[in-house]
Each structure stands twice: as structure tokens, then as C-alpha cells.
Structure 1
Amino acid sequence: MKNILITLLCLVFSFAVCAKDRLDIYEDYDLGTEIMMVTTVKVDANMGDVYLAGLKNSWVKAVKIQKELGYIKDWKIYGSDLPMSGEFNMLLVVTFNNSADLEPSKKKYDAFMKKWSDADDKMSREISAKYPEVRTITGEYQLREIVMK
């Protein structure tokens, strides 16, 4: 009796798995509206603090201005606890409210440039020119949340 019950349960579960072998958008899942731009970076051994110091005076300064102006929702830097374990060991992430925020805008550009001084631009260029000595960009991704129903 026990073997028959187990066989029947296996049969029922196998039909459930076979019944829907693919999901349909908007029926089985939705797409979120937020967009995340993710840059994967391989920072050379023992250069994480050097790279972060450069980011603080360039990329971080720029994304802070963008967030203050409302152009981005948020930004984050993630570092691996296991820095030598793969193709990248640091992530630079910028979150936008929606894809419309990615569109070019002269008005937004002009507002940003009012806050981003010539000195900031010069420093950012000098810092980023040295980045190839300490890191390699391994990928760039535009991601959107998948919300399962």
C-alpha cells in the first residue's frame, strides 16, 4: 500500500511539473519598473583601498550629485569578502526609478554641470586615467526585477 501511495504521489507531482514548463509574462510574473545599472570590476590584489579612494573623489561624488538632483534613486558599492574568487570582486550599482530616467536630457545635464565644477571634472579625469593600473572593468549590466506571482 505504501509503495502504491508513493507511486501515485510521484505521478501527481510529475504532472504538476509538466503542466507548466514555461511561465508567461504578466500572467505568471511581472517586471519591476526600477532599473539597476551594474558595473562589475576586478580590482587587483591589495588595491581595493586605492581604488575606493579614487572612486570617492570621482564616481561617488558624481552619483551623490545625481541623487541630490533626483536623477537616480540610489547608488551602492559592493565588495567581495573573497576578492580573489572570480571574474570580479567589486560591483558599482546605480538604481533608477524607471527606464525614462535613462533618457538623455540637456536640462538634467546642465543642472548637473552647475554642481560639477571644472575642478571636479579635472580631478575625475586625473583619477580615472590611473584606474587601469589597479582595476579592470569586466562587465556592465542593465537589470530589472522579476516579480513572481
Structure 2
Amino acid sequence: MKIILLVLTLIGVCTNIQAKDRLDVYEDFDIGTELVSMTMVKVDPNMEDMYLAGLQQSWAKAVQIQKDMGYIKDWKIYASELPLTGDFNMLLVVTYEKLSDLEPSKKKYEAFMKKWGEDNQTMSEELSAGYPKIRTLTGEYMLREIILK
């Protein structure tokens, strides 16, 4: 037993094992360049299908156009398996390649609006006007990945 303790002590001293109480950026971890925007939504009971139908015609259609144009990297919708628990039961997620993708751009806006069109804009405004009756936005977050080394 004494030999095992002696060996472990020697290993610890020889390898200078130290536990850090905090990590240093770029030394111990990197910060990713992608940004993820997450909108938390609390959809009223039995209204998920109605809300999804509206999203399909408005939000999902718009972010897919943005993805096709290269303005965003990806988008997703997540629904809770336990929709009656917690502060939200649906997530609307948009992934951006880099922070500069969020910068205002008249050129990008006009190109998007040309593809989106007036008919989609009118329809989207009409649909979204009814959303407060079936859902509540409970939070929005902009996140970056932390990459531990």
C-alpha cells in the first residue's frame, strides 16, 4: 500500500498535475464564430399545429429564402415532447456563419424583398397579427459556441 502511495505521489510531482480553478480564453478554450439566435415560444395547448401551419407559410418560408441567398447558415424549429411544462414549448432557431451576417445591408434587404414579394409580405403580416392569440414569446437569446481544448 505504501508503495502505491509513493508511486502516485511521484507521478503527481513529476508531471506537475494542477487543477485550474478558471480557464483562459484562447489558451484553454476557443470562441466559435457562428452565432445561434433562439426564440423561445410558449404555444397555447392544442394550438401547435395551427401555429406551425402559420410558421410554414411565413417565418419558415422567409428564413429558407435567406438560407438559399446565403444570408444565414441554417434554421430549425424544435418542439417540446412535454409541451405543457416549462416556460416555452417551441424554439425557433437561426444559425449565422459570423457576426457580420447580422449587420444591416440595404442591398441584402432589397434582394430579399424582391424574392419575398409583396404577396408574401401581406400574407405574413396577416398571419402574424393572429399569433398573439395562440402563443407568447418568452425569450430570445444569441449564443456562441465555446470549444474546450
The SS at the match of 1:116 is helix
User: Which segments of 5 or more consecutive residues in structure 2 lack a partner in the other structure?
Assistant: none
Name the TM-score, length of structure 2 as normaliser.
0.89
Task: Find the counterpart in structure 2 of residue 80 from structure 1.
Answer: 80
The SS at the match of 1:23 is coil
1:17-62 per-residue CA deviation (whole Å, 9 max, x = no partner) reads 7x41010100100001111111000111111001000101110110
The SS at the match of 1:142 is strand
Task: Find the counterpart in structure 1 of residue 71 from structure 2.
Answer: 71
One-letter amino acid of the structure 1 residue matched with residue 147 of structure 2:
V
* RMSD over aligned Cα atoms: 1.8
Q: How far off is 1:16 after superposition? A: 5.8
Q: How far off is 1:117 after superposition? A: 1.1
Q: Does residue 40 of structure 1 match 2:45?
A: no
Q: Using the alignment, how far apart are the partners of 2:77 and 2:61 within structure 1? A: 13
Q: Using the alignment, how far apart are the partners of 1:82 and 1:21 within structure 2? A: 37
Q: How far off is 1:116 after superposition? A: 1.1
Q: Does residue 28 of structure 1 match 2:35?
A: no
Identity of aligned pairs, percent? 66
Task: Find the counterpart in structure 2 of residue 108 from structure 1.
Answer: 108
One-letter amino acid of the structure 2 residue matched with residue 35 of structure 1:
L
Q: Using the alignment, how far apart are the partners of 2:17 and 2:80 within structure 1? A: 39
Q: Using the alignment, how far apart are the partners of 1:117 and 1:70 within structure 2? A: 18
The SS at the match of 1:70 is coil
1:56-103 per-residue CA deviation (whole Å, 9 max, x = no partner) reads 111011001101110000000000111111001100000011001000
Q: Using the alignment, how far apart are the partners of 1:108 and 1:63 within structure 2? A: 13
One-letter amino acid of the structure 1 residue matched with residue 23 of structure 2:
L
Name the TM-score, length of structure 1 as normaliser.
0.89
Task: Find the counterpart in structure 2 of residue 124 from structure 1.
Answer: 124
Task: Find the counterpart in structure 1 of residue 91 from structure 2.
Answer: 91
- Misfit runs of 4+, over 2 Å: none
Task: Find the counterpart in structure 1 of residue 135 from structure 2.
Answer: 135
